Amino acid sequence: MSEQQSEHSNPASILLIDDHPLLRKGVKQLIELDSELQVIAEASNAHEGVAAALEHEPDLILLDLNMPEINGIETLKMLREEGVASRVIVFTVSDNEEDVVAALKAGADGYLLKDMEPEELLSNLNQAALGKMVISEKLTALLAQALQSKRTKKGPDISSLTPRERQIIKLIAAGLPNKLIARKLSITEGTVKVHVKHLLKKLHLRSRVEVAVWAVQEGLN
Amino acid sequence: MSEQQSEHSNPASILLIDDHPLLRKGVKQLIELDSELQVIAEASNAHEGVAAALEHEPDLILLDLNMPEINGIETLKMLREEGVASRVIVFTVSDNEEDVVAALKAGADGYLLKDMEPEELLSNLNQAALGKMVISEKLTALLAQALQSKRTKKGPDISSLTPRERQIIKLIAAGLPNKLIARKLSITEGTVKVHVKHLLKKLHLRSRVEVAVWAVQEGLN
DNA sequence: TAAGAGGTACCACTAAAGAGGTATTTTTGG
DNA sequence: CCAAAAATACCTCTTTAGTGGTACCTCTTA
Each residue's pLDDT tens digit, A70-89: 889 989 988 887 888 899 99
Q: Find the Å distance, CA of residue A193 to C1' of nucleotide D7.
A: 12
Element (H, E) at A107: none
Q: Mind listing the pLDDT tens digit for each residue in A134-172? A: 999 888 888 888 877 555 555 566 767 888 888 899 999
Q: Cβ of B178 < 7 Å from strand D?
A: yes
What per-residue confidence (pLDDT) applies to A221?
64
pLDDT of the residue at B98: 87
Name which residue leads in pLDDT, A148 or A91: A91
Evaluate if residue B221 carries a pLDDT over 70. no
Q: Between these two residues, B8 and A201, which has the higher pLDDT value? A: A201
Residues forming beta bridges with residue B13, ordered by sequence position: B38
- pLDDT level of residue B218 (50, 70, 90 thresholds): confident
- Going by the DSSP 8-state scheme, the letter that residue A139 receives in this structure is G
Local confidence band at B120 (pLDDT 50, 70, 90 cut-offs): very high
Residue B129: the pLDDT is 93
**pLDDT for res A6:** 45
Give the chain A residue nearest B104 (alpha carbons). Answer: A148
Contact B104 A134 (CB under 8 A): no
Residue A20 contacts strand D, CB under 7 A: no
**Sign of the CA dihedral running B113, A95, A120, A43:** positive
Position A164 scores a pLDDT of: 87
Question: Distance (Å, rounded) from C-alpha B66 to C-alpha B18?
Answer: 8
Closest by Cβ to A213, choosing from B105, B135, B216? B216
Alpha-carbon span B24 to B30, nearest angstrom: 10
Those residues with Cβ within 8 angstroms of residue A39's Cβ, 6 or more apart along the chain or in another chain: A14, A15, A16, A27, A28, A31, A32
- pLDDT beyond 90 at B43: yes
Confidence at residue A150, expressed as pLDDT on a 0 to 100 scale: 56
Q: Do A209 and B206 touch (CB under 8 A)?
A: no
What is the rounded CA–CA span in Å between residue A73 and residue B16? 43
Which of A86, A77, A73, A83 lies closest to A15, judged by CA? A86
DSSP state of B158: G
A133 touches chain B (CB under 8 A): yes
Instruction: Return residues 135-174 of A near B (CB < 8 Å).
Output: 135-137, 139-141, 143-148, 150-151, 172-174
Does pTM top 0.85 for this prediction?
no
Q: Assign B140 a pLDDT band (cuts: 50, 70, 90).
A: confident
Q: Is A210 on the interface with B (CB under 8 A)?
A: yes
pLDDT of residue A82: 81
What percent of chain A clears pLDDT 90, i.e. is strictly above it? 55
Residue B181 has pLDDT above 90, yes or no: yes
Is pLDDT above 80 for B122? yes
b/e per residue, A139-150, with b = 16+ CB within 10 A? bbbbbbbbbbee
| Closest in A107, A135, A208 to B209, CB measured | A208
Query: Looking at residue A39, what is its pLDDT?
Result: 95
Q: If DSSP states are collapsed to H, E and C, what string results for A55-103?
A: HHCCCEEEECCCCCCCCHHHHHHHHHHCCCCCEEEEEECCCCHHHHHHH
Beta-carbon contacts of B51 under 8 Å, excluding residues fewer than 6 positions away, are B43
Beta-carbon contacts below 8 Å between A and B = 96
Share of chain B above pLDDT 70, in %: 91
pLDDT of A58 reads 94
For residue B21, the model assigns a pLDDT of 94
* Mean pLDDT of the A125-129 span: 92
Is the pLDDT reported for residue B8 higher than 60? no
Percent of chain A with pLDDT over 70: 91
Question: Does the pLDDT at position A9 exceed 70?
Answer: no
**Is the predicted pLDDT of residue B76 greater than 60, yes or no?**
yes
Single out the residue of B68, B65, B41, B70 nearest to residue B54, CA to CA: B41
Question: A112 falls in which pLDDT band (50, 70, 90)?
Answer: very high
Percent of chain B with pLDDT over 90: 56
Bases of strand C lying below 7 A from some protein CB: 5-12, 16-22
